[in-house]
Amino acid sequence: MQLLRHLYSAARLRFALFMLGLGCLSWTVLAFPLGLVLPKNWGRWVGRWMATLGFRAYIWLLHIIGLGRFDITALDRLRGAGPLILVVNHPGLLDALMVLSRLPNVTCILKASLMRNPLWGAGARLAGYIRNDLFLGAVNLAVDELHRGSQLLLFPEGTRSDPMPLGEFQVGAAYVSYRSGVPIQTLIIEQDSRFLGKGWPLLKRPDMPMHFRIRLGQRFAPPANPKAFSLTLRDYFLSELSPHHGGD
């Protein structure tokens, strides 16, 4: 019986990963030609809404097959809230998917390698996501997107949290807020598994179902000193992620 449960859990994990890859590849086949023919404004709208609908369907699938339970509807309070810089801790690879599944007018700053990835690249370019290989260029594009009315998703650690629960913060989020005059809305991700965190093998089976929660944290006004504020922001996240913190 134990062996059967193990095999069933392993099959669910592989099915979930396969469906994610299949969905992204299918969208790439459509997104690439759309990126060639649609005006940029239309392309951004189509690309972002498809990301929201596709990732929402995927989160639903993970729930149905018993891989995860997701408490992320707090994000709905930010829809229609206008330009915000969404600053989020980054424990695993599902983080961006969860945020994008609830908020349809978000642009992301992504690693340049992801913008070239055959599974993600065409959809990311269509949605107007920003590559991070040139700091000032990425900042300028992010400021333009915020002034256009978009919300901006940023992981201030720059990569998945290492060490857990939080790595060092980069200055980018604070600097974009300083340059744009747009406030920073913190989002706190809590989960009971290190699934797809830094160093987690892709096919390693977690205990299922995993539990994920995103709650809204404090909203900060644009800083006058981005470097100093980055330290303040990290201290705030550490306090929120402390095991003695009860959340809301």
- Say whether 186 sits in a helix, a strand or coil: strand
According to DSSP, residue 192 is labeled S
**In whole angstroms, how far apart are CA 50 and each of 44, 71, 101, 153?**
10, 21, 9, 17
**DSSP element (H, E) containing 15:** helix 2-37
pLDDT mean across residues, the chain: 90
In tens, the pLDDT along 163-194 reads 778 888 889 899 999 999 999 999 999 998 88
Residue with the larger pLDDT of the pair 57 and 9: 57
Whether 138 shows a pLDDT value over 60: the answer reads yes
Residue 105 contacts residue 134 (beta carbons within 8 Å): no
Read off the pLDDT of each residue in 144-154 and give the average, rounded to a whole number.
95
Backbone angles phi, psi at 155, to 5 degrees: -105, 105
Is 0.85 surpassed by the pTM of this model? yes
Range with the lowest mean pLDDT among 9-18, 82-91, 226-235?
Answer: 9-18
Position of tokens 């990835």?
Answer: 117
